Amino acid sequence: MEKSDLFFLKNIPLFIVLFFCFHFPREAKAQFANGADIGWLSQMESSGYLFYNDSGVKENCMAILKEQGINALRFRVWVNPVGGWCGKKDVATMAHRADSMGFRVMIDFHYSDTWADPGKQTKPAAWASHTISQLLTDIYNHTYDVLDTLKSIGVIPTWVQVGNETNTGMLWPEGNTTTNMKNFADMVNSGYDAIKAVDSSILVVVHLSDGYNNNMYRRMFDGLKNNGARWDVIGMSQYPYWANLPWETDNNECYSNMLDMISRYNKKVMICETGMQYDQAVTCKTFLLDLIAKTKSVGGLGVFYWEPECYNWQGYKLGAWDPVTRKPTVAMDAFLESSDSSSTSVKEDPPRNQGYNNESDGVSVFPNPVGAGQNFMITLKDKTVPTSIRIFTVNGQKLFETTTVNNDNIFIRNLRMSPGIYFVQLTNRHQKITKTLIVK
């Protein structure tokens, strides 16, 4: 992490912190998560992979995902991984990047040095000889350490998974539910306690694969409930490819399962992973639109596409990026088309070397507050520099855009804005300024 990033995090003006605390958390947390797991991204970038937006312009992958309607990003954590990829430092760097761009963050603890899934739940090498008591301490300490590190750089995840696709538990053999469900329940509680100790607002997710398999979900969550486990959200993986089912059948079964989980355990649900072959993009878009609609209809928290940015990478074929054009496939349009807004929330950026949100930065918005339906004016101190002006909702929907030069007063007329908070963003070669506009 750059020193400048730490400096910024430590020196945000107090009134801005209070403003966001009182005005945004409830709305942000209620927003449906159009999510993407991009745990491979830092390694891909290090390997020289490039990404292009829909217009064919080379761009940061996270920025492209935001343009595609993604508003939340998921990162897996391994304990002591080879090469450091998906380790604590890598995850902290990526989570900070995501948070600084306005994405909400999900952290997925695998409790392994490598992949954990239904077919393997291998203990980290450093924990290999530990007793169940020691493993519970290991889980707590590792979970707390990673999340406390994130907290120290200003990142509080919205959701944290205790384990990845834990169909038969984790940290085998001690946590294998075929022999000891109680151990697994205790492991979940150890992770739960560590998460809530860092920040009680974080939602704790227990994640299983095979979202269509209601019998397996009942067996696992009955077992956890009967052994005193605590969790907030039931997470599901939903892959027609791995289920070997037509996507319509798979989604219908998953929908029925979500309804049953909500009724049976009084918990929220979300799709933590999904995807389809990259060369079936049109079908994938239809599949995603249906899955998102079904998840929203039951009050689900979100849908995360697993590694959409992948192309020609480690043999993975279920991404949503074209390997020839290196642009998102049409599958990603599902997130835009199913959104209430066209982007993620926009965060205010303090202008470089200038005051924050006042006239000393050379920009004013008048009147402010403004009445709904009332015209207003943006005044620029330096009218000779070409300046791009954009107006966004708090959810990131762009309402207005223009570029002006040799014009110090820009009148905004007949712009339909309901009462609420909006951002006026001005960008030129000298600086980027974002002003808050309140519509009454």
Residue where a domain terminates, one of 276, 306, 337: 337
> What SS3 class is residue 306?
strand
**Residue 4, domain member (yes or no):** no
Q: Looking at residues 343-362, what average pLDDT do you find? A: 41
Q: How confident is the model at residue 134 (pLDDT cuts 50, 70, 90)?
A: very high
Residue where a domain terminates, one of 303, 337, 371: 337
Q: How many independent structural domains does the chain possess?
A: 2
Check residue 346 and report its DSSP letter. Answer: P
Same domain? For 364 and 296 the reply is no
Same domain? For 67 and 102 the reply is yes
Mutual angle of helices 181-198 and 132-152, in 10-degree steps: 20
**386: containing domain:** 359-439
> What SS3 class is residue 357?
coil
Q: What does the pLDDT read at residue 395?
A: 64
**8 A C-beta contact, residue 34 and residue 304:** no
Q: How confident is the model at residue 361 (pLDDT cuts 50, 70, 90)?
A: low
Weakest-pLDDT range from 116-120, 187-191, 394-398: 394-398
Mean of all residue pLDDT scores within the chain: 88
Q: For 241-278, how does the pLDDT look when each residue is reduced to its tens digit (9 = 90+)?
A: 999 999 999 999 999 999 999 999 999 999 999 999 99
Q: What is the pTM of this model?
A: 0.73
Give the whole-angstrom CA distance, residue 241 versus residue 246: 8
**Residue 68, domain member (yes or no):** yes
Closest residue by Cα to residue 190 from 177, 209, 171: 171
Q: How confident is the model at residue 340 (pLDDT cuts 50, 70, 90)?
A: low
What CATH number did the domain enclosing 367 receive?
2.60.40.3080
Residue 272 token pair:
């933590």
Q: What does the pLDDT read at residue 21?
A: 41
Q: Looking at residues 310-336, what average pLDDT do you find? A: 97
Higher pLDDT, 382 or 275: 275
Angle (CA) 283-285-289 rounded to 5° is 120
Q: Is 201 a residue whose pLDDT tops 70? A: yes
Same domain? For 408 and 266 the reply is no
Residues in the chain: 440
Higher pLDDT, 409 or 415: 415
What CATH number did the domain enclosing 65 receive?
3.20.20.80
Same domain? For 310 and 363 the reply is no
Q: Is 22 a residue whose pLDDT tops 70? A: no
Q: How confident is the model at residue 30 (pLDDT cuts 50, 70, 90)?
A: low
Same domain? For 421 and 283 the reply is no
Bridge partners, 172 (sequence order): 122
Residue that the structure tokens 């070997």 belong to: 244
Give the whole-angstrom CA distance, residue 169 versus residue 41: 28
